[in-house]
Structure 1
């Protein structure tokens, strides 16, 4: 049991909206929800509290890529321990990335699906691997990847213990396997729920104003991030695409391939998006191998990111609506950045050109590009007929991709002088 110098009310600590989630002991707990709905922090609080109550239990925490843990799940669990007033009883290590409950040696282990061997060979020093938590599970587009982990949580448990997999995510795409498997097929061993920011009494007024802004100006995105509903997958702009785990360095050495880079600017409400791809114009193949997707980036942050990734000398085509940003980034050593063409015709022409390519997205490096490809749709009129223009949403990486492909589409017309 948790030992504390003072009693902490879970109602006050966790808040409302998660009572059934907290007490369910079946095989799967699946929560889809919008931003700010407390689903991730509640899962983190549950892990800390229950590991201290079950001294033989260990937990495996998973994301699509391992290197995203430190700033998300690892930090959330550390926050949860402090929130419960038991931070001194836990050791949060960065190398290897893990959390240890000092009185018993129980561990929280962190793994990524980009290293399947680290999952299939997983062992714990003492006790049992009882629980797993998949965070940002929408990024896992291949159900087989989930099944491999699901099968690793097996074996007999001591009396009073239970095996459980917790899944938290934003419901970006209604065609995602998560919907069919957990929400469309009733299973008594599964708890499913949808939560929103409205159940989060800890949000500030500024946060709530942002959702109101989104509801008015980005209703499609609000449907997912605000209301926690499934995204609209019908009428996808790009249909011929797939995810693969490929070696981009090997592909770059093949004849006919050329590297292209596109950058779309954002700040508070929208992210800045970088798309990096290898293109073979003759074979009509487009390999997207890297991305960057981040809010609130200043121009010096973007320049530093490009240098850190090793792209400072590359030809980069950026959003032409911000010439001042392009000049500032160029002044910080990104000398081959230039503005993209702009206008409605350029959007249509760019989309039509890209649609002629087979698009392969790196399975682990580009989760936000996969989300946008799944959610970037044609606009519809009141009768439900699709129009020849895309909805102005889920398009930051898509715009960056279009900018990058200008170098291929326009050829020698593009100058970097």
Structure 2
């Protein structure tokens, strides 16, 4: 029993979500998962119960206001009806609002397409954000600043599907530089994570913030119709299956490396003792102070038209001396290293340290390099030794013009590893598949 005759035990729910209805031990909560997982149902039902048993001023948000009436507004009404308290509320349609007739709680619906209307709302103590991945990182930060009321526990709830790792939600919750630094793989394993972030203010006082992340998939929702489950489980596109079925971050669009696959022990399985060293390749993208320096070891099986990526260096904010030490493995086998030609001094410094390094040839343009990479029948990336290259291959999609056509060379992320592949393969005599002769440099063929 919570209060006001609302009994959560009478609300039909799945075990994975049950504790969410009574758990208020958080400042920031992310409900993230695949299609039909029940995260939005849980978020709005929790909000409906909260506003009924406590006096609250709640802001319900989506990026675009015109999408709210048929989504958030109706979802919140459904939550109140399921909780059996719909008749305690008065609804206003212009602007969209709901007011509790007993305790004075107010629920306000707004879109972020007009920030002026958000900033004019005072004394908000609870925010729930639907389709949070539609927001920019700046939007999410600004929303957190709206919670200024003192004397009451404040909450903000984000809900969304796990789309791109370039999305604002991923950056806020799963990166160290811009966010709270949750581990993505740990979330998939444990399903629920918690962090307490403590900051010492200038006046010496300490402020703690409790952040929770809750992961779900369609398997956590026992009330989905069989037809919906069929559509999810019969999905053939691995990208959509990853997002929709598994509830994992991935690329939702036209992948640049559509031919990438991920395996363990790639060097031992495909390269060592099987490919001549003339088909070994090395690439480097230097990055700059805010970007990543990347080095890759690769090999090409010309018979099978396959590229193997089996070693990576991926880091940033390192001095040239540190880079020299960390990239030492690129010297092995005396293979030519082709590096970003934009940093002539760094290339010269590495040559002085004994690296057989050369500036890459950019004269043929990015599109040529893209076509070469996309022409491989497979790009096999070592998932254990090259985790950052794997992430980029899973994530990098083309931007599109106003007609929906892909734009070569323009992506949703800054793809350091993909650039490094292009640079490293710079002196390969690329022959389009249709023009390729049956000539092998593959040992044993």
| 1:48 counterpart residue number | 48
| 2:380 counterpart residue number | 383
| 1:155 counterpart residue number | 149
| 1:227 counterpart residue number | 246
Q: Displacement of 1:17 after TM fit?
A: 1.2
1:14 aligned counterpart, secondary structure: coil
Q: Displacement of 1:164 after TM fit?
A: 0.9
Q: Which runs of 4+ in 1 moved over 4 A?
A: 233-238, 377-380, 397-400
In structure 1, which of residues 390, 393, 402 is the aligned counterpart of residue 405 of structure 2? Answer: 402
Change in CA separation of 1:118 and 1:166 when aligned onto 2, cut-off 3 Å: same
- 8 A contact 1:78–1:92 mirrored in 2: no
| 2:213 counterpart residue number | 192
Name the stretch that deviates more: 227-236 or 87-96. Answer: 227-236
Change in CA separation of 1:233 and 1:89 when aligned onto 2, cut-off 3 Å: closer
| 2:132 counterpart residue number | 137
What is the 5 A alignment of 1:199-214?
199-214=220-235
- CA-based RMSD of the aligned residues comes to 3.7
1:110 aligned counterpart, secondary structure: strand
How far apart, CA to CA, are the structure 2 residues paired with 1:213 and 1:171? 20
What is the TM-score normalised by the length of structure 1? 0.54
What is the TM-score normalised by the length of structure 2? 0.51
- 8 A contact 1:133–1:167 mirrored in 2: yes
- 8 A contact 1:32–1:194 mirrored in 2: yes
Q: How many residues align?
A: 254
Gaps in structure 1 of 5+ consecutive residues: 239-351, 356-376, 404-417
Q: Displacement of 1:122 after TM fit?
A: 0.6
How far apart, CA to CA, are the structure 2 residues paired with 1:380 and 1:27? 48
In structure 1, which of residues 139, 146, 151 is the aligned counterpart of residue 140 of structure 2? Answer: 146
Q: Displacement of 1:226 after TM fit?
A: 1.2
Gaps in structure 2 of 5+ consecutive residues: 176-180, 183-194, 197-209, 258-366, 383-388, 407-445
How far apart, CA to CA, are the structure 2 residues paired with 1:11 and 1:198? 22
2:69 aligned counterpart, secondary structure: coil
How far apart, CA to CA, are the structure 1 residues paired with 2:78 and 2:214? 24
The structure with the largest alpha-carbon Rg is 2
- 8 A contact 1:24–1:191 mirrored in 2: no
**Per-residue displacement from partner, 1:125-162 (whole Å, max 9, x unpaired)?**
xxx5211011101111x2112111111101312xxx31
